A = this chain, B = another copy of it.
């Protein structure tokens, strides 16, 4: 099935709004097995809208428009389409009742421009929109399907998932079901994960099952996509590959949901194990504490932390040895070890995590270039530090150090002895 997308709106052409709708729809349709040939971004102009739709109806099997369905005078999509097909507008009673109830429930007066939302071209089937007030519309004309959707991303996505996908399945035999699973890993490089850990997966990959590696800031998310003629078949088609990935790479996987963050996972483990944590940060400057406390309910396990930017704070607040600071410098194994233990003992937490490094862009030396970072870990059972060499970019270094520290905590709590990137534990 060949499709074209028509994005309608002056705000897209003058760059006030980025056309994220088109890329979301492109991905959604692609996963359904629809081939998106072209995206047209056009202005709110009657003639241009009409000509573009007419041409696309001739060239493709499916045309989807977004935008121009609001209640104001520059929203002209549906009247333009009625004219194009030479039909009248009709009032859809079900939509009208729904909108009236919606306004009543919000105590907003109902006006004529709101009632206009319930008017649709008489040859359309309404795609009922429970995410907003503008109904979607479905046409079957000239051997082509036309879906007309609002431009509000939330409403467009609702209608694509709940209405358009099932319409396509109803009419086109080659449109199947899609199941997407995300497995999130941290502390392992994309190529190591792909080549050394997972190895050749070609016998598991085919038209029905695909795998993508999505790297970002010290994390790699695996996206496994299955297709099938039913939801169940799509799920079942992914199962063998997911089982194999879990078997081979299980210890690197911290989450199996797209929205599941590493700090949330660490929080869950701390809750399960009834353990508490505290942080002693130099080069990350509070980012680890902030990331941990992004999670609702983190006060159950996060006692607090010390941001020890100045050396005096490392000495006074964390009990770091002045002598070691002078001899080895602040960015050193000894200081990382002492900071981690210092904060755990001072705040009385089970776990202490520390960072000290040269975030950049200045401050590097030949022995300790920008990007040199030490992370310290302390618990009753273990006390070690890890050295990593990151990038020249200050914010990237803060971000990557934070992810690495959280992943060290996760692995140590779960008894996974291997450190991120197979780095080496250095003891006191």
Contact = CB atoms under 8 A, between A and B. Distances in A.
Contacts of A30: 13-15
A28 interface: yes
B309 A303 contact: yes
A241 B313 CA distance: 47
A304 B293 contact: no
A17 B13 contact: no
Interface string A296-314: 1111001111111110110
A309 B288 CA distance: 13
A284 to B, nearest CB: 7
B317 A304 contact: yes
A199 interface: no
Nearest to A318: B304
Contact of A362 (B18, B290, B296, B394): B296
Copies of this chain in the oligomer? 2
Among A30, A296, A309, the one with the most B-chain Cβ atoms within 10 Å of its Cβ is A309
A33 to B, nearest CB: 12
Interface stretch (A19-27, A62-70, A128-136, A380-388): A19-27
Contacts of A48: 37-38
Interface string A36-69: 1111111100001000000000000000000000
A292 B285 contact: yes
Contacts of A309: 289, 293, 298-299, 302-305
Determine chain A's interface SS by DSSP, over half rule: mixed
Contacts of A333: none
Nearest to A30: B14
A347 B43 CA distance: 58
A290 B398 contact: yes
A286 B293 contact: yes
Interface string A329-373: 000000000000000001110000000000111100000000000
Contacts of A26: 12-15
B23 A17 contact: yes
Given A18-B18, A306-B305, A398-B294, A13 B28 contact: no
A36 B19 CA distance: 15
A26 B395 CA distance: 30
Interface of A: 12-20, 22-28, 30, 36-43, 48, 279, 281, 284-290, 292-294, 296-299, 302-310, 312-313, 316-317, 346-348, 359-362, 394-395, 398
List the 8 closest A-B pairs by CB distance, nearest first.
Answer: A285-B293, A15-B27, A286-B289, A286-B286, A15-B26, A39-B41, A286-B290, A304-B313
